[in-house]
């Protein structure tokens, strides 16, 4: 797995700005070309059965990999957003495109991880 989510993600006006995490395990022959990141969060119902209801979600991307901190990914291009996030647990999901520097071929990897919004 070439990447992870940072365990704590910052909220701004009900949105995660900007999802980020360490770039780990990327083979030296590959370079990242873009990343797409989604954050989803459940809303707990008020009934005794603790029903899980649909909650906020958003997408962000990064289509240009220049100017970033080495060994880190950040999705700083806003996409869509549905609902407002609140401080607490959420799930981060990402898709990374990588280019083989020798062959020019592209590969993709994805990962998901529990995160905490603050």
Residue 70: predicted pLDDT: 81
* pTM given for the model: 0.86
**Number of domains the chain contains:** 1
32/97 Cα distance (integer angstroms): 6
Q: Per the domain annotation, does 37 fall within a domain?
A: yes
Whether residue 47 has a cis bond before it, omega within 30° of 0 = no
What is the residue range of 81's domain? 8-117
Q: Which of 32, 3, 33 is nearest to 19 (CA)?
A: 3
CA–CA distance from 102 to each of 20, 38, 40, 106 (Å)? 27, 30, 36, 11
- 82-100 confidence digits (pLDDT tens): 999 999 999 999 999 999 9
9: Cα within 13 Å, side-chain hemisphere: 33
Residue 39 class from Cβ within 10 Å (0-12 exposed, 13-18 middle, 19+ buried)?
buried
Q: Per the domain annotation, does 3 fall within a domain?
A: no
55/37 Cα distance (integer angstroms): 17
- 20-34 confidence digits (pLDDT tens): 999 888 889 998 999
Q: Per the domain annotation, does 2 fall within a domain?
A: no
Residue 80: predicted pLDDT: 95
Low-confidence ranges of the chain (pLDDT < 70): 1-3, 44-53, 67-68
Q: How far is CA 27 from the centre of its chain?
A: 20
Q: Per the domain annotation, does 1 fall within a domain?
A: no
Q: Per the domain annotation, does 94 fall within a domain?
A: yes
């Amino acid at each position: 797995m070439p990447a992870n989510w940072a365990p704590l993600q910052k909220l701004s006006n009900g949105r995660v700005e900007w999802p980020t995490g360490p770039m780990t395990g990327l083979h030296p022959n590959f370079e990242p070309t873009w990343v797409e990141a989604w954050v989803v969060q459940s809303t707990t119902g008020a009934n005794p059965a603790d029903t899980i209801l649909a909650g906020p979600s958003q997408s962000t991307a990064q289509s240009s990999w220049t100017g970033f901190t080495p060994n880190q990914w950040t999705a700083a291009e806003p996409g869509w957003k549905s609902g407002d996030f609140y401080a607490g647990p959420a799930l981060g999901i990402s898709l990374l495109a990588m280019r083989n520097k020798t062959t020019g071929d592209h590969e993709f990897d994805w990962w998901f991880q529990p995160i905490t919004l603050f």
